[in-house]
Chains A and B, each alone.
Chain A
Amino acid sequence: MKTIETIQEEIVEEFSLFEDWMQRYEYMIDLGKSLPLINEQYKTDTYVIKGCQSKVWVHAELKEDQLNFTADSEAIITKGIIAILIRVFSNQHPKDILTANTDFIDRIGLKEHLSPTRANGLVSMIKQIKMYAVAFQTQLN
């Protein structure tokens, strides 16, 4: 089982190979296409992340003591970003998700998506993932 930090380092490493923004975005678009799709039943307003320009749905399930995330979005680049987040946070213990640092996003050149003015809501997505972790951590206690 890889730790969140290890996975983040792997992603930073992968992104460091790209020479320009086009390669970075093409990679994200590919990632978006491979996103583990959310079960249609969860694509409702209950699971939608508010404040995003494109609709984003995130669902979490606890398997033993690990959280498993599935998600979807109307926009492909947004899906790519979610795919990266899911790779980092899925199959991790809620406690580790809660304490995880998310600086790696800056390091892979996606800083512009972190700005609160960005309506794609990367910040909201991370917040939502951490909210799930809080909720399930309480359950585990």
Chain B
Amino acid sequence: MFDVKQVRKDFPILSRSVNGQPLVYLDNAATSQTPKQVVEVISDYYYRYNANIHRGVHKLSQEATDAYEKARTTIQTHFNAAHPHEIIFTSGTTESINVIAAGYASILSKEDELLISALEHHSNIVPWQMLCEKTGATLKVIPMTKLGTLDMEAFENLLNPNTKLVFVNHVSNALGTINPIKEIIDKSHQKGAKVLIDGAQASPHIKTDVQALNIDYYVTSAHKLCGPTGVGMLYGKETLLKKLPPYQGGGEMIASVTFEKTTYADLPHKFEAGTPNISGGIAFGAALDYMNKIDFEAIASYERELLIYATDALKKIDGLKIYGEASEKTAVISFNVGTIHPYDIGSILDQMGIAVRTGHHCAQPIMDFYNIPGTVRASFSFYNTFEEIDVLDKGIRKAILMLQ
């Protein structure tokens, strides 16, 4: 049985105060908080078995290697990948995307087309623009609707045999829209295109089965799902990853080196040059263990209640407009009040100890679509409470009084 009071005890940070008020942390889409169980895994690593992995013959190195590889298996199991070596550790979502973009630089030609969605984060736009500049391929955009969903009819019309890659986020970071990735994947595959799903915003809320959905590439960051910053993953189907060239040269990624020729190591090491974020990788596994123990079904249903409660409350505020009203969305509310600048509301809320995000959320094209400078975004997690939503509600009302 899900008990938020119990869960909150795992997060010491939630009981601190900010500007003399109890912290109300509603910036979970930017980064989630880290439970004791995960922090302890990190300190345990440094206190007991900090060593470089894969190469050492000594005991500590073996223990560190075992823990790191066990984390890989945990991630594999969580996403139901066919093999552990289909999970590549990276520094995070952005790097994962760049690994694929760099790999496709040698595969794409002038006639090829890439399709991205209008709901993308900048990190899922810029690498592809750079890739198109390099290869001469064309970048096309799946348009969005007023509700903040993808225009699926337009998507189908854009798909053609020249489409090589389709990139869509599983959940939009700015609006919370859950995109119909199964349909996107199936239709893309019918035209022979591969699909990369950015799971950064989805993975804290939805347990994704990469095989059931037939996903080609899936990427996410540990810090979005109760893990530490600086570590993330790239899932790719074995057959696809084998065809991609390595991302960076260095140690770990080689099989043999002479001055004439280097042969690359097998997966996953081909993409893991240099000493990785070892404690981060281990903690990534611990974070997934932690969330799975709470249970993703329980998390999803509780967050759904939070979303409904918050949406109802905020909609009652005069002049408040919510951006992103898809029927399927995660617990994110992006909004503005009248002509008040989001920055002003965010600053006042901060004074009351309420942490929200303001601005364009690294998704400027979405803001341009709505013709607004940005929004205030409150994003909820399973450790948030209904009482905190009441505080937010009151806070917004107070901010409006001050600003109008």
Please indicate the chain B residues that have their CB under 8 angstroms from the CB of A128 in the complex: none
Secondary structure call for the A interface: helix
Determine if A55 and B373 form an interchain contact, defined as CB atoms under 8 angstroms apart. Answer: yes
Determine if A76 and B344 form an interchain contact, defined as CB atoms under 8 angstroms apart. Answer: yes
Determine if A74 and B373 form an interchain contact, defined as CB atoms under 8 angstroms apart. Answer: yes
Q: Is the C-beta of A90 less than 8 angstroms from some C-beta in chain B?
A: no
Please encode chain A, from 102 to 129, with 1 for each CB lying within 8 Å of some chain B CB and 0 for all others: 0000000000100000011000000000
Determine if A54 and B402 form an interchain contact, defined as CB atoms under 8 angstroms apart. Answer: no
Q: Is the C-beta of B107 less than 8 angstroms from some C-beta in chain A?
A: no
Determine if A53 and B402 form an interchain contact, defined as CB atoms under 8 angstroms apart. Answer: no
The chain A residue sitting closest to B360, CB to CB, is: A53
**Contact A77/B351 with A25-B402, A29-B403 known, Cβ cut-off 8 Å:** no
Please indicate the chain A residues that have their CB under 8 angstroms from the CB of B340 in the complex: 76
B358, B359, B374, B403: the one within 8 Å of A76 (CB): B403
Shortest distance from the beta carbon of B236 to any chain A beta carbon, whole Å:
34
**Contact A74/B402 with A25-B348, A55-B373, A119-B359 known, Cβ cut-off 8 Å:** no
The chain B residue sitting closest to A73, CB to CB, is: B341
CA distance A25 to B358 in the complex (A): 18
B19, B343, B351: the one within 8 Å of A75 (CB): B343
Interface residues on B, range: 10 to 19
Please encode chain B, from 355 to 386, with 1 for each CB lying within 8 Å of some chain A CB and 0 for all others: 00011000000000000011000000000000
Please indicate the chain A residues that have their CB under 8 angstroms from the CB of B348 in the complex: 25, 77
The chain A residue sitting closest to B346, CB to CB, is: A53
CA distance A74 to B402 in the complex (A): 16
Q: Is the C-beta of B347 less than 8 angstroms from some C-beta in chain A?
A: yes
Shortest distance from the beta carbon of A49 to any chain B beta carbon, whole Å:
14
Determine if A78 and B402 form an interchain contact, defined as CB atoms under 8 angstroms apart. Answer: no
**Contact A54/B341 with A26-B402, A29-B403, A74-B373 known, Cβ cut-off 8 Å:** yes
CA distance A29 to B340 in the complex (A): 12
CA distance A55 to B350 in the complex (A): 20
Determine if A54 and B373 form an interchain contact, defined as CB atoms under 8 angstroms apart. Answer: yes
Number of interface residues of A (CB under 8 A): 16
Shortest distance from the beta carbon of B303 to any chain A beta carbon, whole Å:
27
**Contact A21/B351 with A53-B343, A119-B359, A120-B343 known, Cβ cut-off 8 Å:** yes
Determine if B341 and A75 form an interchain contact, defined as CB atoms under 8 angstroms apart. Answer: yes
Please indicate the chain B residues that have their CB under 8 angstroms from the CB of A55 in the complex: 373
Determine if B343 and A77 form an interchain contact, defined as CB atoms under 8 angstroms apart. Answer: yes
CA distance A26 to B403 in the complex (A): 8
Determine if B19 and A21 form an interchain contact, defined as CB atoms under 8 angstroms apart. Answer: yes
Determine if A74 and B341 form an interchain contact, defined as CB atoms under 8 angstroms apart. Answer: yes
CA distance A75 to B344 in the complex (A): 6
Determine if B351 and A53 form an interchain contact, defined as CB atoms under 8 angstroms apart. Answer: no
Determine if B343 and A29 form an interchain contact, defined as CB atoms under 8 angstroms apart. Answer: no
Please indicate the chain B residues that have their CB under 8 angstroms from the CB of A76 in the complex: 340-341, 344, 403
Please encode chain A, from 25 to 66, with 1 for each CB lying within 8 Å of some chain B CB and 0 for all others: 110010000000000000000000000011100000000000
The chain B residue sitting closest to A118, CB to CB, is: B347
Determine if A53 and B374 form an interchain contact, defined as CB atoms under 8 angstroms apart. Answer: yes
Please indicate the chain A residues that have their CB under 8 angstroms from the CB of B403 in the complex: 29, 76
Please indicate the chain B residues that have their CB under 8 angstroms from the CB of A17 in the complex: none
Shortest distance from the beta carbon of B397 to any chain A beta carbon, whole Å:
14
Please indicate the chain A residues that have their CB under 8 angstroms from the CB of B351 in the complex: 21-22, 25
Shortest distance from the beta carbon of A125 to any chain B beta carbon, whole Å:
14
4 new A-B pairs (CB below 8 Å) besides A54-B373, A74-B373, A120-B347? A53-B358, A75-B344, A77-B347, A119-B343
Q: Provide 12 A-B residue pairs closer than 8 Å at the C-beta atoms, listed in order of the A residue.
A: A21-B19, A25-B402, A26-B402, A54-B341, A74-B341, A75-B341, A76-B340, A76-B403, A77-B344, A77-B348, A78-B343, A78-B344
The 7 closest A-B pairs by CB, nearest first: A75-B341, A75-B343, A54-B343, A21-B351, A53-B359, A53-B343, A75-B344
Residues of chain A having any CB pair with chain B under 8 Å: 21-22, 25-26, 29, 53-55, 74-78, 112, 119-120
Residues of chain B having any CB pair with chain A under 8 Å: 19, 340-341, 343-344, 347-348, 350-351, 358-359, 373-374, 402-403
